[in-house]
């Protein structure tokens, strides 16, 4: 279910105010590098932080609607107002991720964490960046940092992210406790039920896989990915009738999907 899964991150309304700090002479350029020579804001640090927060919220709104160029411009303005506001750099990291500029994304995430290394949302989002960049093992420590904060508002997300990243490298034993904890915190999560079902299928625990798949099927409309997963579970259990039913539904409803292509080729190891 790689495609169709949005990054489980926190932006916009969840931007956290950091400690008030005076403006310095650093900001971020159009290519993401940190440079000097920005004028200090004439306002007090508190006023500058408030204005930078407002700009960052505006940038986050544009980010959520896919207007990356405008989001980036607003984020740059926030940096000019208060170059020590960590959440702006964190948001710029997310924007550069969308723009597929990995060096600039990483530089901005790292700058954000230099300014506030205990911020759980920043740690979660940087961990997600590392996971998507193929650095899954490295990502786990950042999810764990986020989860160490007892006031973190969305621990189910960080647990899911960690479990998902470990699933990518087929470390099912390490992934399981993260995913189970995510389910305990948010039993309604479609992605958590999907991932737990995949995990138990991969480890040969078909009864558990079927259990979570049953919860999944009741809580969301069928997609090519969920039908394919259900088909594979039925196949593993020797349930030919259910396998045939799901195969027929997959061919009929999603004939152009990659899962339908896998079915046509008999590529049942694909996921």
Quickly tell me which residue has 């005076």 as its tokens. 22
Judge whether 170 lies within some domain.
no
Judge whether 241 lies within some domain.
no
pLDDT, tens digit (0-9, with 9 covering 90-100), for 38-52: 444 445 778 999 999
How many whole angstroms from its chain centre is CA 99? 15
Cβ–Cβ under 8 Å, residues 246 and 226: no
Judge whether 55 lies within some domain.
yes
Judge whether 264 lies within some domain.
no
Q: Which two tokens stand for residue 2?
A: 């790689």
Judge whether 72 lies within some domain.
yes
pLDDT, tens digit (0-9, with 9 covering 90-100), for 122-161: 999 999 999 999 999 999 999 999 999 999 999 999 999 9
Judge whether 261 lies within some domain.
no
Residue 25 in this model has a pLDDT that exceeds 60: no
The pLDDT confidence band at residue 5, using thresholds 50, 70 and 90, is very low
Q: What are the φ and ψ backbone dihedral angles of 35, each rounded to 5 degrees? A: -130, 175
Judge whether 65 lies within some domain.
yes
Q: Please, what is the average pLDDT of the chain?
A: 87
Average pLDDT over residues 99-128: 97
Residue 97 in this model has a pLDDT that exceeds 70: yes
Cβ–Cβ under 8 Å, residues 138 and 115: no
Judge whether 185 lies within some domain.
no
CATH number at residue 96: 1.25.40.10
User: What number of CA atoms fall less than 13 Å from residue 161's CA on the CB side?
Assistant: 34
Q: What are the φ and ψ backbone dihedral angles of 223, each rounded to 5 degrees? A: -125, 175
What residues make up the domain containing 73?
17-118
Number of structural domains in the chain: 1
CA angle 4–262–250, rounded 5-degree value? 65
């Amino acid at each position: 279910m790689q495609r169709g899964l949005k990054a489980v991150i926190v932006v916009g309304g969840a931007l956290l105010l950091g400690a008030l700090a005076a403006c310095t002479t650093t900001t971020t350029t159009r290519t993401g590098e940190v440079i000097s020579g920005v004028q200090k804001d004439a306002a007090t640090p508190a006023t500058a932080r408030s204005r930078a927060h407002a700009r960052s919220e505006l940038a986050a709104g544009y980010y959520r609607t896919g207007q990356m160029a405008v989001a980036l411009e607003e984020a740059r303005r926030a940096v000019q107002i208060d170059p020590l506001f960590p959440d702006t750099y964190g948001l710029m990291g997310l924007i550069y991720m969308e723009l597929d500029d990995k060096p600039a994304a990483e530089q901005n995430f790292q700058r954000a964490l230099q300014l506030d290394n205990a911020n759980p949302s920043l740690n979660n989002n940087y961990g997600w960046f590392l996971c998507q960049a193929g650095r899954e093992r490295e990502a786990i420590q950042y999810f764990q940092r986020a989860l160490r904060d007892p006031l973190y508002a969305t621990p189910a997300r960080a647990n899911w992210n960690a479990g998902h990243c470990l699933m990518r490298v087929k470390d099912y034993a390490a992934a399981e406790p993260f995913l189970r904890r995510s389910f305990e915190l948010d039993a309604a999560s479609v992605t958590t039920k999907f991932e737990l079902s995949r995990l138990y299928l991969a480890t040969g625990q078909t009864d558990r896989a079927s259990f979570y798949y049953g919860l999944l099927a009741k809580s969301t409309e069928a997609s090519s990915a969920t039908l394919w997963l259900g088909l594979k579970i039925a196949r593993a259990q020797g349930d030919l009738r259910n396998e045939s039913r799901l195969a027929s539904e997959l061919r009929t409803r999603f004939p152009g999907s990659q899962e339908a292509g896998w079915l046509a080729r008999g590529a049942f190891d694909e996921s």
